[in-house]
């Protein structure tokens, strides 16, 4: 399974060192595309924008989504379930266009803020669905026991419910980040002057050939995230898990 996941990435990395401009054929090893990349301020800025938007949006969406997931688990609601599920189904392009029309009506200047607002909106549902799947069938007696032992509402939430949810929160946040960093359609419509993200850069390369510079920036990001992941895994104390 990991092979299926990583095989295309091996190709991406390999072609970032390929001399061929079109990537049609292996023509020899080069570091040329990394030089091009480091000289390309626009591309670096786009990668940076993507990271900032991804981080801010996924953290905010995780907060909103966790609340929503808890609410869906605890109460019988009418409106919220509809508001959580429908965004998954609505075509991106409709949502992107309508957000743009909406922001223009509000007279909001398009930029980082409008993109982040939009990203949080489409990430909430994914987090909420994962959290709900985590909580469903969860043993409520633990919370009751804590309350019986004199824990406050906040205390039982902080020390019982939250640790129980932790793997769900992590999984949800990862999904949200994945959605945000890869979105093109909604970002295209809500982006303003200077808010070009990496996907915008890449998708608009249609008229002009996609060069291996893109592979280089992808490889760099991949290495960066891998290092980050390894560092977190090594340094942080065990991330709380649901199991005792």
Partner 1 sequence: MSAPTKVILLAMLALFSCAATAADVLRIYNWNNYIAPETLERFETECKCRVSYDTYGSNEELLAKIAAGATGYDLLVPTGNAVESLIKQHALLPLDKRKLPNLGNIGAAYLDRFFDPGNVYSVPYAYTVTLIGYNEQKLHQLGIPTNTWAAIFEPRYLRKLKGRVTVLDDPRELMAAALLYLGYSVNDPNETHWREAAGVIMRAKKYWAAFNNTSYIRLIAAGDIWLAQGYSNDFFQAGLEARKAGKNFTIGSVIPEQGAVLSLDSMVIPRHAPRPDLAYRFVNFMLAGSNSAELTNLIGSGNPNVAALPYIKPAIAATAAIFPDRQTLARLEQLRDLTRRQRQLLNRLWTEIKLY
Partner 2 sequence: MRRLLVWPPQAYLIAFFLVPTLIMVASSFAWPGEEGGLSSFWVRDAQGIHFDLTFDNYRDIFTSRLFLVLFARSLGYAGLTTASCLLAAYPLALVIARSAGKYRNLLLLMVIVPFWTNFLIRIYALMIILGPQAALARILNALLDWVGLTPVSLLFSPFAVLVGMVYIYLPFMVLPLYANLEKHDPDLLDAARDLGAGSWQRFWRITFPLSLPGVMAGSALVFIPALGAFAVPDILGGTRGIMIGNVIKMQFLEARDWPFGSALSIMLTLLALVVTGLAAWLARRKVGAGV
With CB under 8 A as the contact rule, the residue among 52, 59, 67, 113 that binds partner 2 is 67
Burial class (CB in 10 A: 0-12, 13-18, 19+), 30: middle
- The answer to the question of residue 199 lying near partner 2 (CB under 8 A) is yes
- The answer to the question of residue 231 lying near partner 2 (CB under 8 A) is no
Please choose which of partner 2, partner 1, none residue 110 contacts, taking the beta carbon within 5 to 8 angstroms, the exact cut-off set by kind.
partner 1
Nearest to 16 by CA among 218, 222, 223: 218
Burial class (CB in 10 A: 0-12, 13-18, 19+), 92: middle
Give residues 125-184 in contact with partner 2 (rule: CB under 8 A).
126, 128-134, 136-138, 153, 164, 167-168, 170-172, 174-175, 177-178, 181-182, 184
Please choose which of partner 2, partner 1, none residue 198 contacts, taking the beta carbon within 5 to 8 angstroms, the exact cut-off set by kind.
partner 2
Please choose which of partner 1, partner 2, none residue 145 contacts, taking the beta carbon within 5 to 8 angstroms, the exact cut-off set by kind.
none
The Cα-based distances of 84 to 29, 64, 67, 120, 230 in angstroms read: 49, 11, 12, 13, 33
- The answer to the question of residue 59 lying near partner 2 (CB under 8 A) is no
Please choose which of partner 1, partner 2, none residue 181 contacts, taking the beta carbon within 5 to 8 angstroms, the exact cut-off set by kind.
partner 2
Q: Which span sits near partner 2 by CB under 8 A: 35-43, 80-88, 142-150?
A: 80-88
Burial class (CB in 10 A: 0-12, 13-18, 19+), 102: middle
Nearest to 241 by CA among 176, 180, 159, 165: 165
- The answer to the question of residue 101 lying near partner 2 (CB under 8 A) is yes
């Amino acid at each position: 399974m990991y092979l299926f996941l990583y095989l295309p990435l091996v190709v991406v990395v390999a072609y970032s060192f390929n001399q061929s401009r079109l990537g049609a054929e292996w023509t020899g090893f080069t570091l040329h595309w990394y030089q091009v990349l480091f000289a390309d301020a626009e591309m670096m800025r786009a990668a940076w924008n993507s990271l900032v938007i991804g981080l801010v949006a996924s953290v905010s969406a995780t907060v909103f989504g966790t609340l929503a997931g808890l609410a869906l688990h605890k109460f019988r609601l009418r409106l919220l379930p509809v508001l959580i599920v429908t965004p998954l189904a609505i075509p991106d392009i409709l949502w992107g266009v309508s957000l743009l029309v909406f922001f223009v009506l509000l007279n909001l200047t398009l930029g980082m803020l409008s993109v982040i607002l939009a990203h949080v909106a489409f990430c909430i549902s994914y987090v909420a669905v994962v959290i709900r799947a985590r909580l469903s069938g969860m043993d409520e007696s633990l919370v009751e026991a804590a309350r019986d032992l004199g824990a406050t509402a906040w205390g039982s939430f902080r020390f019982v419910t939250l640790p129980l949810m932790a793997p769900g929160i992590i999984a949800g946040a990862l999904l949200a980040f994945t959605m945000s960093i890869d979105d093109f359609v909604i970002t295209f419509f809500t982006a303003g002057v200077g808010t070009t993200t990496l996907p915008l850069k890449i998708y608009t390369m249609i008229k002009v050939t996609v060069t291996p510079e893109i592979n280089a920036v992808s490889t760099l990001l991949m290495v960066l995230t891998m290092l980050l992941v390894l560092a977190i895994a090594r340094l942080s104390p065990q991330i709380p898990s649901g199991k005792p």
